Amino acid sequence: MSTVNKPGLPSGRRETGSGMERFNALRPGTNVAYSAMFILLAILCLVPVVFVIIISFSSEASISKVGYSFTPVEWATDAYQYVWNQRNTHGLPTVVMAFFTSVGITVVGTVLGLVLISTMGYVLSRRNFKLRGLYTMLIFIPMIFNGGLLSTYVVNVQLLGLKNTYWALIFPLACSSFYVIIMRTFFQTTVPDEIIESGKIDGASQLRIFVQLVLPISLPALATIALFLTFAYWNDWYQASLYIEANQYDLFPLQYVLVNIERNIQYLANNDMAMSANTNVLPSETMRMAIVVIAVVPIMFSYPFFQKYFISGLTIGAVKG
């Protein structure tokens, strides 16, 4: 790093590096303080996850004796065994079937959502689209006033006939007005008009321009929306409670199955008429933590695939200085 003398500075003092380098440089003490702060924040985020996993592998006797602890008196897998032993009409573990159902719904729903949201956002971002203002208003209104649960249920069940189908778990979450506005803003502020014009000059259609020119430079926005859609589909159980009947076991997603297992075990533990000698040892406390682990751990592995683009996509729509 070069040092230069600057007129007006006292004798012996030198200016190191360029102005921007000096502006971005941190003193050693400040660097240590920031590093310690981020390490502390990482620990605060990681410790609860580890704590939940430890509790899920604790025995009910240990929790009754010492409560929730990082060092349980006795280790056990009763909660996971209870979940595994829940079988459907085909004799297969319910949680395994529900897991693959949730994976399929999440993948199909995320892809479908990206197609709908990106195409709608791109169309609304084009200034030469004559109905741009009308469609923007129609998309913006549901962000403030929605149709209501009753009307949504009637449309999905009686008009579209989605009851007891996988599509009932996919279509209601596939498109969000908020995400469409985000994509529209991203296309307006990030995609240069020169790229669109160059495609038109070469004779490319709007679809080809969108697929070959716009989408490759929109990966941060797409990855951010995909991550949000993935979380929404994976964690959803409410749509199943509305549109899937109790005898349709093969259609239950993972979250719905886990919620039902937790409700059943709480009912057995709290209902005096249902109590028996065996229900006294039901893993009611550790079951909650096991359900959290089963629901959270698989989706945690999807984040590294989005992280590269998600960080750069956090500033989607930000005003450039």
Q: What's the burial of 319, exposed, middle or buried (CB within 10 Å: 0-12/13-18/19+)?
A: exposed
Please write the tens of the pLDDT for every residue from 219-276: 888 988 998 999 999 999 999 999 998 888 888 999 998 888 888 877 776 765 555 5
Predicted local distance difference test score (pLDDT) of residue 321: 41
Task: Tokens for 257, please give them.
Answer: 């199955």
Distance CA 179, CA 140 (A): 11
Mean pLDDT, residues 183-187: 90
Whole-structure pTM value: 0.79
Q: Which of 187, 166, 165 is nearest to 117 (CA)?
A: 187
pLDDT by residue (tens digit) across 112-156? 999 999 999 999 988 888 888 888 888 888 888 877 888 889 999
3-state secondary structure of 87: strand
What burial class does residue 295 get, using C-beta atoms within 10 Å of its C-beta: 0-12 exposed, 13-18 middle, 19+ buried? middle
Q: What tokens were used for 39?
A: 């390490």
219-235 helix and 177-190 helix, angle to the nearest 10 degrees? 170
Give, to the nearest 10 degrees, the angle between helix 303-313 and helix 219-235.
130
Range 168-190 burial, b when 16+ CB lie within 10 A, else e:
bbbbbbbbbbebbbbbbbbbbeb
CA distance 320 to 317: 9
Is the confidence at residue 1, as pLDDT, over 70?
no
Question: Would you say 202 and 140 are in contact if contact means Cβ atoms under 8 Å apart?
Answer: no
Q: Is the pLDDT of residue 190 over 90?
A: no
For the segment 188-193, the average pLDDT, to the nearest whole number, is 84
3-state percent helix, strand, coil for the chain, nearest multiple of 5: 70, 0, 25
Distances (CA, A) of 185 to 38, 123, 218, 253, 315: 31, 11, 12, 34, 11
What's the pLDDT tens digit per position in 89-119?
A: 677 788 888 999 999 999 999 999 999 999 9
Q: Give the three-state DSSP class for 75.
A: strand
The burial of 202, by beta-carbon neighbours within 10 Å (0-12 exposed, 13-18 middle, 19 or more buried), is given as exposed
**Once rounded to an integer, what is the mean pLDDT over residues 52-74?**
86
Domains and CATH numbers, the chain: 30-76 (no CATH), 90-313 (1.10.3720.10)
